[in-house]
Amino acid sequence: MLRTLFLLVALVVLIVIGLVATGYLNLDRGSDGSLSITTSDVKVGTTTTNVQVPAMRMEDRKVEVPSITVQNKDQSNSQ
């Protein structure tokens, strides 16, 4: 039970460190010793931008492909 509690506390500490490192959370200490936490705004959406996309075109070419033909030995009996 105690090990699980320590694991959860360590996980929360790692998450807070990650948020501070990425700049999402800002921890500021005032001159009077108070701690203020400010968060950055996160906007989710779509934007239109130009990207390079590989173009594909269809064309006919003659190429050699492997093929298998089966000849019936008894063609005269099949009729």
**Is the pLDDT at 48 greater than 80, yes or no?**
yes
**AA letter at 11:** L
Q: Let me know: does 38 contact 26? Beta carbons within 8 Å.
A: yes
pLDDT band per the 50, 70, 90 thresholds, residue 77: low
Q: How many helices (H) and strands (E) does the chain have?
A: 1, 2
Partners of 39 in the β-ladder: 25
Give percent of the chain with pLDDT exceeding 70.
91
Phi, psi of 74 (to 5 degrees): -105, 65
**Is the pLDDT at 8 greater than 90, yes or no?**
yes
Q: Let me know: does 37 contact 25? Beta carbons within 8 Å.
A: yes
For the entire predicted model, the pTM comes to 0.42
18-37 pLDDT tens trace: 888 888 888 788 788 787 88
